[in-house]
Amino acid sequence: MDKIYTHPRALRKTVTHYCPGCGHGILHRIIAEVVDELAIREKVIGIAPVGCAVIAYDYWDFDCSEAAHGRALAVATAIKRVRKENIVFTYQGDGDLAAIGTNETIHAANRGENLTVIFINNAIYGMTGGQMAPTTLLNQKTATTPKGRNAQLQGYPLKISEMLALLPGVKYIERTSLHSPQEIIKTKKAIKQAFLNQVENIGFSLVEVLSPCPTYWGISPSQSLNWIRDTMVKEFPLGRIK
């Protein structure tokens, strides 16, 4: 009997601090599997964000750096320019990449830095307690929009992937989801492509991953997968954007 699915080498065997049913754990594992499959564990450098994944470097078994809130792409730019032989990626949530780090994100993309960006979008701020994020859906209830997000007061969900796709420096953008095993397989394929683009010097690649946050959505883990499938993908359609 062969073992057909096991713990990836690039992921440490520790218990994470994430809530039960959190998408971060799934995405950490996918990245670790891609790093193993491309045999780049000795030369990959990950940049951890501020947000729930702030201690992602405790979970991956490869070199990582931490960045100030939103500045992951600025740190990644510096590391990649100095150490061109390394494979540098950032792992950022919607608060980090699309709120405080919008500036750094847009300019790194516009410069066409040869980087890989993993953007995890759960439409809410997790670490700080479930406040509205730029990507929060209209009518979605959060700690700071208790009656639901109202477009006249709080604007519309920010589609940063579509915005970045307009820039000539950006070479690859795809939006995927974690709401079913089939979508997880597609997510892994997209992430592998984004890493391969950097290996082949193609340029700036970003994968946006829709991910569940059962704790702050206030529903069970399996209901949160259904919520992504039925509600979130209508606002954030899946597939290749560029």
Partner 1 sequence: MPKITVDKNKCKGCLLCISVCPKGLIVVDKELNSLGANPVKFKTGGECIGCAFCALICPDCCIEVYK
Footprint on this chain of partner 1 (rule: CB under 8 A): 1-8, 11, 15-16, 18-26, 29, 180-181, 184-185, 214, 220-222, 225
Listed residue (161, 209, 203, 194) closest to 25, CA to CA:
209
Contacts of 101 (CB under 8 A, 6+ apart): 69, 70, 71, 72, 73, 92
Contacts of 164 (CB under 8 A, 6+ apart): 105, 106, 109, 170, 173, 206
Q: Which is nearer to partner 1, 173 or 225 (CB)?
A: 225
Q: Which is nearer to partner 1, 6 or 201 (CB)?
A: 6
Structure tokens at 145: 């929009």
Find out whether 108 and 126 touch, Cβ atoms under 8 Å.
no
Q: Where are the alpha helices (DSSP H) in 147-213?
A: 151-154, 160-165, 181-199
Q: Which is nearer to partner 1, 18 or 236 (CB)?
A: 18
- Per the listing, tokens 């780090």 go with 101
Q: Which is nearer to partner 1, 169 or 221 (CB)?
A: 221
Least gap, CB of 50 to partner 1 (angstroms): 21
Listed residue (164, 95, 91, 92) closest to 134, CA to CA:
95
Report residue 43 CA to chain centroid gap: 21
